[in-house]
A = this chain, B = another copy of it.
Amino acid sequence: MSALVPVLDRLDADLDKSLERLFALLRIRSISTDPDFKADCRKAAEWLVADLKTIGFDASVRDTSGHPMVVAHHDGPAGAPHILFYGHYDVQPVDPLDLWHDDPFDPKVKELEPGRKVITGRGSSDDKGQLMLFVEACRAWKAVHGTLPCRVTLLFEGEEESGSPSLKPFLEASAAELRADFALVCDTDMWDRQTPSICTSLRGLVGEEVVVKAADRDLHSGMYGGPAANPVRVLARILADIHDETGRVTIPGFYDGVEETPRQVLQSWQALGETAENFLGPIGLSEPAGETGRSVLELVWARPTAEFNGISGGYTGKGFKTVIAAEAFAKVSFRLVHKQDPVKIREAFRAFVRERLPADCSVEFHPHGGSPAIQLSYESPFLTKAQQALTDEWSKAAVLVGSGGSIPVVGDFQTILGMESLLVGFAQSDDRIHSPNEKYDLASFHKGQRSWARILDALTR
């Protein structure tokens, strides 16, 4: 702890100044999706480069065909790991402006409720506030020790809120420069205001559009109803076969590579107290519809799914048309976990459909996407160290959570740079990101800086 304690003290002492720096960045209108703010985006990138240089980073603005990237490097002691830290400096648009209580680009510290201070403004939580935590941790470490405890590369993107069109090409072109031992990604939430979390898994995705065809034209259901194959009926039957009565997917081999989540992880999820009512109530539902015998959190974080995202066939306008369609289609997607292989899942699904295709029907498939799940090993020493560091800072055990969706940059780090990511963030679920009145808890800002200092310390020891 000898190296860490003075860094934490320094962060405490420097809090007001770190707030001023964040405010300066928040005042820059770096709305990436709106071409009117192109210059503002570059200004934010340049502001970051200038700030990082004051810490001693070798920082530069890197042009792309869209908004620029910020890349910065700082050496560390020999033998220490090399960390890539990722965040984004662009923000969402602010309209409707009249719903904001304060100017979205004139940040303030306000008291949200007694004892709870927040930083207001667009980007305060997503993602300028979060990325500055790490910058402040580095600044304090450098100020106290004259160096950083490990080699650090920073990558700040300017197009995260507009689809990241330049990210993949940039990673591919800069792979040698950016590849590190592992990545830290700061774009996630705490479990709640008291409980820090690390996201250790993201589900993968395989999409397939399946088109079932029968007659060579739409048929009159009076003339042909009975003997003629009906693609809507065939498709419905195939889709219905995909799940059994317990909600399990019946496609042979589908669960190959799916692991049972360790008991202690399930117990920690159980301890979070997330009930089906809590999870489903806000969307008008109440009972879990997936595999029976598993909690909602396990279903979303650690179990694969087959979902039907769209279906269409025959007459779908107003009123009725007694037609037997020539074809019908469904858009089917599979969320993958652990080591499920997207290629094998796609093949198994196609075989499953073909086996069930009756006489007179043919099928076409149109692939969409195909990315494996991300699963950090529960035995990873980085994970254990980061979890302990967070637990120390917040005096409450950090929980390992999953995400049901995907965060593309994490998949790109995996596939392009061959690097695992640790997802740590200090946002709260009520931060109203992408909405009017975005905020970031002052406690997140302060203890988040201290958390990163502790993680840096822990990871490198």
Interface residues of A (CB under 8 A from B): 203, 205, 207, 209, 214-217, 219-230, 232-233, 235-237, 239-241, 243, 276, 279-280, 283-291, 296, 299-300, 303, 305, 307-316, 319-325, 328-331, 333, 335, 358-360, 368-369, 403-406
Contacts and interface: CB of A to CB of B under 8 A. Distances in A.
25 contacts: A207-B320, A207-B322, A215-B284, A221-B309, A222-B335, A223-B405, A224-B283, A225-B300, A226-B288, A226-B303, A228-B285, A230-B307, A232-B311, A235-B311, A236-B240, A237-B239, A240-B240, A287-B358, A307-B324, A309-B315, A310-B323, A311-B312, A314-B331, A320-B331, A320-B368
Given A221-B333, A309-B320, A368-B319, A226 B285 contact: no
A49 B237 CA distance: 57
B331 A311 contact: no
Given A229-B285, A309-B314, A405 B324 contact: no
Nearest to A223: B404
A330 B240 contact: no
A355 to B, nearest CB: 15
A328 B308 CA distance: 11
Contact of A228 (B280, B315, B368): B280
Contact of A215 (B283, B296, B320): B283
A308 B230 contact: yes
Contact of A227 (B240, B290, B322, B333): B290
A360 B311 contact: no
Contacts of A224: 283, 300, 404
Given A205-B222, A309-B315, 9 more contacts: A215-B284, A221-B333, A229-B285, A287-B359, A307-B322, A308-B313, A309-B314, A311-B328, A312-B312
Contacts of A299: 226-227
B311 A314 contact: yes
A29 B411 CA distance: 70
B232 A203 contact: no
B309 A321 contact: yes
B314 A333 contact: no
Contacts of A241: 240
A217 B283 CA distance: 7
Contacts of A235: 236, 311
B289 A230 contact: yes
A287 B320 contact: no
A300 B216 contact: no
A228 B403 CA distance: 15
Nearest to A286: B360
A309 B303 CA distance: 35
Contacts of A303: 226
A361 to B, nearest CB: 9
Contacts of A205: 222, 322
A313 B404 CA distance: 22
A226 B305 contact: yes
Nearest to A233: B308
A434 to B, nearest CB: 13
B300 A226 contact: yes
A251 to B, nearest CB: 14
A431 B404 CA distance: 62
A323 B309 contact: yes
A143 B286 CA distance: 81
Contacts of A335: 221-222, 225-226
Contacts of A320: 207, 209, 309, 331, 333, 368-369
A42 B318 CA distance: 34
Contact of A300 (B223, B232, B300, B309): B223
Nearest to A229: B289
A221 B306 CA distance: 10
A226 B221 CA distance: 36
A227 to B, nearest CB: 4
A432 B308 CA distance: 44
Contacts of A233: 239-240, 243, 307-308
Contacts of A289: 226-230, 358-360
Contact of A226 (B219, B225, B290, B403): B290
